[in-house]
C-alpha cells in the first residue's frame, strides 16, 4: 500500500463535499492532465496531490532486506486566488486530512497510515496566473503490506 499512499490523501480530500464544492472538484493526482498551455489556464482554486517517494524503515537486524514499514512523503500543492482565500483553503485541507486519518485509524486497525508529520512551505505568489500557492508535506509512517 505504501506505493499508493497518495491515493488515500486524494480519497480524504474528495470525501469532504464542502471542500470539493469550494474548489469546484478540482483535485488532481500527480499533475493536471492537460497540455501545458491548457494547464496554465485551469481555474483556481485547485489541489494537486503527489507521491514524493518513500524510504523503508530498517528498524532491526531481524528484517533481512526490508522491514514492514515505510516512511512515505506525500505533498499537496494548494492554489487559490487571494492570500486570504488560500489561508481558508489551507485550513480546510489540513483539517480534512487530520480528521480523515484520525477517523480511519480509530475504525480500522489495519489502516496503513499509522502516523504522519506535517509541514507547510511558505506562501508564494504567481503573477502570470495570478494566484497564491503553498505546498503541504506529509511524511507518513505506513505499514508495507507487501512484506
Cross-strand pairs, 113:
142
Report which of 15, 2, 43, 8 is spatially closest to residue 29, judged by C-alpha positions.
8
pLDDT digits (tens, 9 = 90+) for 47-73: 999 999 999 987 656 667 888 899 999
Bigger pLDDT: 36 or 103? Answer: 103
Rounded to an integer, the average pLDDT of 108-120 is: 95
Mean pLDDT, rounded, of the chain: 92
How much is the pLDDT for 61? 62
Rounded to an integer, the average pLDDT of 18-41 is: 91
- Residue 32 contacts residue 48 (beta carbons within 8 Å): yes
Longest dimension (CA), the chain: 54
Q: What is the band of 147 on the pLDDT scale with cuts at 50, 70, 90?
A: very low
How much is the pLDDT for 38? 80
How much is the pLDDT for 140? 97
Task: Write down the pTM of the prediction.
Answer: 0.92
- Range in 39-43, 59-63, 64-68, 125-129 with the lowest mean pLDDT: 59-63
How much is the pLDDT for 55? 93
C-beta atoms surrounding 37 within 10 Å = 7
Rounded to an integer, the average pLDDT of 115-122 is: 98
Amino acid at each position: 500500500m505504501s506505493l499508493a499512499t497518495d491515493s488515500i490523501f486524494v480519497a480524504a480530500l474528495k470525501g469532504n463535499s464542502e471542500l470539493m464544492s469550494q474548489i469546484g472538484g478540482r483535485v488532481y493526482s500527480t499533475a493536471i492532465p492537460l497540455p501545458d498551455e491548457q494547464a496554465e489556464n485551469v481555474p483556481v482554486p485547485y489541489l494537486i496531490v503527489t507521491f514524493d517517494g518513500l524510504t523503508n524503515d530498517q528498524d532491526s537486524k531481524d528484517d533481512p532486506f526490508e522491514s514492514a514499514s515505510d516512511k512515505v512523503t506525500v505533498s499537496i500543492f494548494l492554489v487559490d486566488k487571494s492570500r486570504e482565500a488560500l489561508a481558508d483553503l489551507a485550513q480546510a485541507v489540513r483539517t480534512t486530512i487530520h480528521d480523515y486519518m484520525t477517523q480511519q485509524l480509530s475504525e480500522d486497525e489495519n489502516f496503513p497510515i499509522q502516523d504522519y508529520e506535517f509541514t507547510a512551505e511558505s506562501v508564494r505568489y504567481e503573477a502570470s496566473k495570478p494566484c497564491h500557492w503553498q505546498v503541504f508535506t506529509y511524511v507518513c509512517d505506513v505499514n508495507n503490506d507487501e512484506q
